[in-house]
Amino acid sequence: MFAACGQIPSRQAACGPDSCRPRHEHATSQSGEASWYAATFQGHLTANGERYDSGALTAAHRTLPVGTYVRVRSLATGKSVVVRINDRGPYVKGRIIDLSYAAAEALGLPDARSMRVQVERVEKTQTGSDEGDTVIKEP
């Protein structure tokens, strides 16, 4: 069931701070489609060398620097979650972010293949609960 919903995590080698940092600045907000990783990718390596953990609040983005925190808000449900970018993707046309299962579940996404979202870059100091956000709990 989950395999059709997720994306393949990046198979790139782990990257250091300089190799994962894009060469241009990013807008603070973007809207588009979000999808989520299939359960079969549990434990696979992400772009920063971490193992994918479906219970962690993480995501893949094509260009935001690894380690960036973003607030993802579902345009359908109004729910939001703060996640840390730790991988590259999605590589499906029209999708802007791939979410971990936990992040997708917080938005109500597991019932759908994809969902329209707004992605807003936030500072790590802004990751506290805001308007009912589900937030990252640092290890």
Q: How far is CA 31 from the centre of its chain?
A: 13
In a domain, 139, yes or no: no
In a domain, 136, yes or no: no
SS3 29: strand
Name which residue leads in pLDDT, 58 or 134.
58
Residues 73-91 have a mean pLDDT of: 96
pLDDT tens-digit map of 98-125: 999 999 999 987 777 899 999 999 987 6
Question: What's 64's domain CATH number?
Answer: 2.40.40.10
Residue-number span of the structural domain to which 24 is assigned: 2-126
Q: Is residue 31 within 8 Å of residue 118, measured between CB atoms?
A: yes
In a domain, 75, yes or no: yes
In a domain, 64, yes or no: yes
- What is the pLDDT confidence band of residue 17, given thresholds at 50, 70 and 90? very low
Domain count, the chain: 1
Residues 6+ positions from 44 with CB-CB distance below 8 Å: 9, 51, 52
Distance CA 12, CA 21 (A): 14
In a domain, 137, yes or no: no
In a domain, 134, yes or no: no
pTM over 0.75: no
Residue 80's beta-bridge partner residues? 73
